[in-house]
Structure 1
Amino acid sequence: MAFYLGVDAGGTKTQYVLGDEQQVLGRVQGGTIKRMRADAATTTRNLDKALSELAALTGVSLRSVTRTCIGAAGITVPLVTDWMREAFGERVGGSLVLVGDVEIALDAAFFGGSGVLVLAGTGSNVAGRSVSGRVTTAGGWGPVLADQGSGHRIGVQALRDTFLALDEERSTELLPEILGLWGLADATELVAYANKIPAPDFSALAPLVASCAERGDGVARGVLSREAGELAHLALLVIGRLRREAPPEWVPEVAFTGSILERVGPVRRGIVERLERELPSVKTLPGVVDPALGALWRARVG
């Protein structure tokens, strides 16, 4: 029997999925194995722990794996790829395929076919794969330049709109909620805290913004609506590129992944509403895709 390993190597956590030709046999989550994010001792320790747990869970020796696919950002960086090739080569059998994290997410949704993926978690990105297999992206330029609809951007924009509301003498639940979350006394303390170096984790505000929006807060709703619109705009740009080489009957399909699109309903609904308004033929897939399963699919097909 052949065994295959799919790995989604994120910046803070790594997902490992072991399967045979037909089914998933086991799954574990471990710490990062990206050398850009942690030193060699830490990544080695994280990898050994996760592989040991996966072997114990499934009863399968990792030396019997036929092929592994790892999806990660930064695969053009030798520090990342060289370490992964060496570390997995010493611990896991078979061949190794290294691809970008966007590609395994697309594979999870479209199994090598064409389509568009909208990703929004701490950061954001929109990617599409054409009928010829060419991958194109929009956004994803980091928190200063882009990251529309991301947790970080939602948090920053919520703070900006909260203080604009103060200037305009409009009320918003966001101010007391943010003060409570960060243990601050008033807006003056919030100004100092938000501008400190290093900066606080602005993405931590995203669930709070979503909660206020669901309760009807106009400022919070405005933040989420605007961010959804900007992500939808990026998706429309990618769809436009894919259409240039697609047959006339091609119908764009859009999938979603990331914590914001899984948990912050107004952002996802806002994206879908704009896409359907501007492209009535568009098909949006339910739920969120699992990139680790895309890596497993690619490991199986080679």
Structure 2
Amino acid sequence: MPYIIGIDGGGTQTTCAFQKVEEYDPLSKPQREVSVGAGTNVLTVGMETMKARLHDLIQKGLILHGIHSREVIGICAGLAGTRLEENRLVVEQVLEQIARELNLHEDIIITVKSDLYVALRGAMQPEHREGILVISGTGSNAIGLSRAGKLVFNGGWGHILGDEGSGYAIGLQALKVICKAYDRRESPTQLTGIILASLKLASEDELIHYIYGGAPNKQEIARLARLVIDASRQLDPVAVRILNEAGNELVELVRGLRSKSDDFDEATPVTVAGSILTYSDIVRNQFIEGLNVHRLGRYEPPFAEPVDGAVKVAMEAITKQNQ
């Protein structure tokens, strides 16, 4: 029985879906088996680590779901760090090596896209040919697909140069307001006690060593966003303000994308992905309100997950090959 594999690989996590070809229906919510592993952003983990993680994730998934390797006839990998063509081609070669090492089908069709592209294709309603997707997870960015197939990007500069409205930006802002509250330059906030306890710090003063001595990575800072969301549900005004500001920053991603292209208008479907927009009602509602107020597009809930977009692209490649 032929299978295709869809891969959604970000900096924090990689999801691998195994889909029976004969059971695939692009108009319905996908029915597939999924395995999850560590991040595979080639720019942050390096080529060798990326290859090892993809190899292990596919191999373990085949074993776990009882799939014979020769049954896999197509793979689409949507990976962070592959927007540049030179990176995409190198990753494509790596996947070809993995296919040989795992003894996948000799005529397997391998497609490599950016994680943004497969996320967009997964989120779009099946009947739509155009759309805009805004992602807010560890980082943030936006992508638009026109009816003519043109792609437009905005954001995606990383946590040093950008990522406004992301989990990292929310977490960092929370640390900043704790310092300001300690200095009496900000209102008192529940975030102080919640975050210091989570980081096992005795006082605000220890934040200096935490940030400059321990050098926490961006994923660790981004995880603090869930504490901000928790505080907002307790109606902490500082936490609510941080999340509203994040929603506004994500609106600006769409505004900037729209200014780059005349292919979109106020009727263009705009959808979302990523943990922040999934779990924070405040961020999502502020984002939707901003879209409406500025007439930047028409919000629609995502149809499916990013990995399902990879499955869709893999199936399209198989269908095109067989025409």
The alignment's TM-score, normalised by the length of structure 2, stands at 0.83
Instruction: Quote the RMSD (CA, aligned, Å).
Output: 2.5
**1:103 matched residue in structure 2:** 117
**1:300 matched residue in structure 2:** 315
Counterparts of 1:135 and 1:238 in 2: how far apart (Å)? Answer: 10
Pair 1:193-2:210 in alignment: yes
Counterparts of 1:44 and 1:118 in 2: how far apart (Å)? Answer: 28
Deviation at 1:98, TM superposition (A): 1.0
**1:212 matched residue in structure 2:** 231
Deviation at 1:240, TM superposition (A): 4.2
SS of 1:143's partner is helix
Pair 208,136 (structure 1): closer, same or farther in 2 beyond 3 Å: same
Amino acid at match of 1:107: R
Pair 267,251 (structure 1): closer, same or farther in 2 beyond 3 Å: same
SS of 1:232's partner is helix
Question: How many residue pairs align between the two structures?
Answer: 298
**2:68 matched residue in structure 1:** 61
SS of 1:11's partner is coil
SS of 2:16's partner is strand
Pair 176,15 (structure 1): closer, same or farther in 2 beyond 3 Å: same
Contact 1:116 1:239 in 2 (8 A): no
Pair 1:170-2:187 in alignment: yes
Single out whichever of 140-149 and 284-293 deviates more from structure 2. Answer: 284-293
Counterparts of 1:186 and 1:57 in 2: how far apart (Å)? Answer: 46
Match of 1:147 among 159, 163, 171: 163
Pair 198,288 (structure 1): closer, same or farther in 2 beyond 3 Å: farther
**2:256 matched residue in structure 1:** 237
Q: Map Cα deviations across residues 12-44 of structure 1 (whole Å, 9 max, x no partner).
A: 332111221433342212334555454677555
Single out whichever of 173-182 and 184-193 deviates more from structure 2. Answer: 184-193
Q: Which runs of 5+ in 1 are unaligned?
A: none
Q: Which runs of 5+ in 2 are unaligned?
A: 25-30, 318-323
Pair 39,289 (structure 1): closer, same or farther in 2 beyond 3 Å: same
Pair 1:267-2:286 in alignment: no
Deviation at 1:118, TM superposition (A): 0.7
Counterparts of 1:197 and 1:190 in 2: how far apart (Å)? Answer: 10
Pair 1:256-2:272 in alignment: yes
**2:305 matched residue in structure 1:** 290
1:4-15 matches, within 5 Å, as: 4-15=4-15
Match of 2:175 among 146, 159, 162: 159
Counterparts of 1:193 and 1:35 in 2: how far apart (Å)? Answer: 27
Match of 1:223 among 242, 253, 263: 242
